[in-house]
Amino acid sequence: MSTTSRAEQHELLRHAAARAHLAPSIHNSQPWRFRIDHRTLEIRADHDRRLRVVDSTGRQLMISLGCALFNARVALAADRREVSVHRLPDPADPGLIARLVLSDRIAPWHPLVRLDPAIDRRHSNRREFFETRVTEEVQWELVAAARAEDAQLVPVTSDHHRLELARLLWEATAEQSDDPAYRAEIREWTSAIAGRKDGITPQSYPMSSDDRGEIPLRDFGVKVSGHMSPVTGSGRDQCLMILGSPRDTPLAWLRTGEALQRLWLEATRLDHVISLFTQVVEVPDLRDELRTQLGLGCEPQVVIRVGQAAPNVATNRRDLDQLIEGM
Regarding beta strands 152-155 and 96-106, do their DSSP bridges make them parallel or antiparallel, or are they unpaired? unpaired
Whether residue 314 lies inside any domain: the answer is: no
Specify whether 258 is located in the same domain as 111: no
Whether residue 182 lies inside any domain: the answer is: yes
Tens digits of residue pLDDT in 198-235: 988 776 665 555 555 677 776 665 444 544 455 555 66
Specify whether 199 is located in the same domain as 284: yes
User: Residue 130: pLDDT above 90?
Assistant: no
Closest to 264 measured CA to CA, from 302, 238, 230:
302
Specify whether 149 is located in the same domain as 267: yes
We report the CATH number of the domain holding residue 75 as 3.40.109.10
User: Residue 4: pLDDT above 50?
Assistant: yes
Give the mean pLDDT of 46-68: 97
* Domain range for 288: 136-307
Cα gap 17→75, rounded to integer Å: 9
Specify whether 159 is located in the same domain as 229: yes
Whether residue 318 lies inside any domain: the answer is: no
Tens digits of residue pLDDT in 273-323: 999 999 999 999 999 999 999 999 999 999 999 999 988 888 899 999 999
**Is-above-0.75 flag for pTM?**
yes
Specify whether 114 is located in the same domain as 191: no
User: Residue 1: pLDDT above 50?
Assistant: no
Phi, psi of 65 (to 5 degrees): -65, -35
Whether residue 124 lies inside any domain: the answer is: no
Specify whether 172 is located in the same domain as 290: yes
The band of 49, judged by pLDDT with boundaries at 50, 70 and 90, is: very high
The pLDDT, as a whole number, for residue 307 is 94
Whether residue 321 lies inside any domain: the answer is: no
For 69, what's the count of Cα atoms within 13 Å in the CB-facing half-sphere?
32
Number of domains in the chain: 2
Whether residue 204 lies inside any domain: the answer is: yes
The pLDDT, as a whole number, for residue 213 is 66
Whether residue 56 lies inside any domain: the answer is: yes
Element (H, E) at 188: helix 180-188
The band of 2, judged by pLDDT with boundaries at 50, 70 and 90, is: low
Specify whether 93 is located in the same domain as 176: no
Specify whether 289 is located in the same domain as 226: yes
Whether residue 300 lies inside any domain: the answer is: yes
Specify whether 274 is located in the same domain as 151: yes
Cα gap 259→142, rounded to integer Å: 9
Specify whether 145 is located in the same domain as 112: no
Give the mean pLDDT of 57-71: 98
